[in-house]
Amino acid sequence: MSSALYTAAAGAAAQQVRIEILTNNLANINSSGYKAEASAFRIPENEPQAEALVQQLRYKPAILPHEIITDFSPGVLKPTENPLDMALKGDGFFCIGTRDGIRYTRNGRFALNGLGELTTAEGHFVLGQRGVIRLEGDNVRIKPDGTISTNETVVDSLRIVSFETPYPLSKEGDALYALTDPDALQIDAFDTEVIQGSIETANVDAVLEMTRLIEAGRMFEAYGNVIKTLDGSTGQLINRIGNVTA
């Protein structure tokens, strides 16, 4: 395959990745606590393999590496009047107990299961300083510092943590994140406020994402046309060579 065809194929592949990511962002625009993603295509700097990669790209540009980056900037807080809904104003994540261990989220749309335990919509446990939070009684009150009380009696305090940036977290689905580095230092988010009766909306700018999606679609189509043209030219060249040698 010619270098030009490799370049066109690499460009088309890059735009296909962008399209998939942008489409997913738009599909989750109404998902509480969702964080937008973007693709980054880069060559590692100051690393032993960087020069070798540059040399390879001269002949096979399609191997250009990429990674998906999560935008952890905050979304807009939206009042719901549901006393079990919670939003975080500032840095930090709710700690969630799952079968696979502790996970982290900004999605504070919580509920009570049949045992009165505070859970996510998927049934995972919301963790407090004492473990699983169980609420008995009415009149649930949550203070900005995360202290939870029912009928004026303190039950527990939400376990809210943060990490040094860039966050050592990977997305798992259901707005949950897992640690990519088990030794990452957890920081108590003392400056973060819990807003009861609100949720954090997705940090997706619909207009911007649609604009980017249209742009990516046009670029993908352009690369596709280049590939067709090059393929046609190659085919014609092969036929001419065949006629000459026949």
Q: What is the CA radius of gyration of the chain?
A: 25
Neighbouring C-beta atoms of residue 83, cutoff 10 Å: 15
For 59, list phi and psi in degrees, rounded to 5.
-115, -30
Domain range list for the chain = 3-73+204-245, 77-200
Q: Residues 6 or more apart from 160 whose CB is under 8 A from it?
A: 88, 92, 93, 94, 95, 146, 188, 189, 192, 194
Q: Choose among 12, 68, 14, 13: nearest CA to 36.
A: 68
**Burial of 3 (C-beta count, 10 Å sphere; 0-12/13-18/19+):** exposed
Q: Do residues 29 and 204 touch, judged by C-beta distance below 8 A?
A: yes
pLDDT grade, residue 224 (50/70/90)? confident
pLDDT digits (tens, 9 = 90+) for 86-138: 999 999 999 999 999 999 999 999 999 999 999 999 999 999 999 999 998 77
Q: Do residues 163 and 187 touch, judged by C-beta distance below 8 A?
A: yes
Output DSSP code: residue 184: P
Separation of alpha carbons 92 and 243, rounded Å? 70
Q: Whole-prediction pTM value?
A: 0.79
For 125, list phi and psi in degrees, rounded to 5.
-80, 135
Separation of alpha carbons 112 and 110, rounded Å? 7
pLDDT digits (tens, 9 = 90+) for 124-170: 999 999 999 999 877 899 999 999 999 889 999 999 999 988 899 99
